[in-house]
Amino acid sequence: MKLIEKIYPILLSPAKKTFIEIVFFRLAIAFFILDSLLIALVYLGVVPASIYCHRGMPNPLSIIYTPFSILLLYEVYLLIFFLPHSITTYLGKQYEIITLILVRKLFYDIPQLLTPEAYNEKNILHLLVSLGGLIALCGLIFCFYRLAQNREKHSFSYSNAIYERFVARKKALSIVLVLIFFFLFIKSFWELSKLHISTVDDVALGIRQMSNTFFNDFFVVLILIEVLLLLFTFSFSDKFSKVVRNSGFIISTMLLKLSFRAEENTTVFIMLIATVFGVAILWRYRLFGKKIDK
């Protein structure tokens, strides 16, 4: 326990969070400026277009994808940061991440529609479904956090020592998650370095593949972590409502993981189902608490 208290501030203290935030935001801005300058040089004829893409002129809107991917990684760090503080907020961050992944996908899809060959009824329908799904997800996340704020007041039957042990275990899981986060990040970059890259577009495509692999693997880890949280809950509280809530959160995360394997409109539908399920579980948990208190 003492070892955890020594390591935790190094990786996940509020000061470290602020430092990580500055690093990620500066990286995002730097990539955005560099990409913008390169595209400007291509359009001015200073740099040949073949350096940027294999054919034709690069699409200026495509520069949004890479810096947004960097900000998305910062959201993953925030998810880990909030785990010891609140399991509910931790799950809410998962919904935020999945929503930002959908936003990033829109940043990729919309510029593609500017080309005549991609402008067809199927792609337009997919765009409309994604836009509708984005609005619905934002509304569901708002409902989720409103429910999370309305916490019922219970008279707890456990001691402070038991609660402190539970928080210490969550801190230990957070430390493990940070280490896994960096391992998967390095692993993804190693795989990117092995790709044949000849243009900036190839780099963007590699980042897209790397990101998909990273989040697919990371959500598998999140499921395992949440199973451990469920087991730790039994040592902290034997309340049926809390056990069902944490079990429901695991199912919600599994559905989010399933969305990475789906295609096109099915991905959006699974994201919505996972979020609706999480909101419903939290609502029933709060309702159950109110009934017990009466």
pLDDT above 70: residue 102 = yes
pLDDT of residue 289: 63
The total of other beta-carbon atoms located within 10 Å of residue 65's CB is: 19
Q: What is the mean pLDDT of residues 205-223?
A: 80
Q: What is the mean pLDDT of residues 110-136?
A: 83
pLDDT above 90: residue 137 = yes
The domains of the chain are located at 14-146+182-293
pLDDT of residue 141: 94
pLDDT of residue 153: 45
pLDDT above 70: residue 152 = no
Query: What distance lies between CA 1 and its chain's CA centroid?
Result: 29
What does the alpha-carbon distance between residue 208 and residue 211 come to, in Å, rounded to a whole number?
Answer: 5
Q: What is the mean pLDDT of residues 143-167?
A: 69
What does the alpha-carbon distance between residue 120 and residue 139 come to, in Å, rounded to a whole number?
Answer: 29
pLDDT of residue 245: 84
What does the alpha-carbon distance between residue 8 and residue 174 come to, in Å, rounded to a whole number?
Answer: 8
pLDDT of residue 150: 63
**CA geometry: angle 123, 128, 129, nearest 5 deg:** 95
Query: What's the pLDDT tens digit per position in 238-274?
Result: 677 778 888 888 899 889 888 887 777 899 999 999 9
Query: What's the pLDDT tens digit per position in 16-72?
Result: 889 999 998 999 899 889 888 888 887 887 777 677 666 666 677 777 877 888 888
pLDDT of residue 202: 66
pLDDT of residue 69: 82
pLDDT of residue 197: 65
What does the alpha-carbon distance between residue 46 and residue 40 come to, in Å, rounded to a whole number?
Answer: 9
Query: What's the pLDDT tens digit per position in 171-202?
Result: 888 999 999 988 888 887 777 677 666 666 66
Residue 258: C-alpha distances to residues 31, 57, 79, 132 (Å): 31, 36, 19, 20
pLDDT of residue 110: 81
pTM of the model: 0.82
Task: Quickly state the pLDDT bin for 294 (edges 50, 70, 90).
Answer: very low
Name the nearest CA neighbour of 225 among 72, 68, 93, 69.
93
Q: Check: CB of residue 132 under 8 Å from CB of residue 126.
A: no
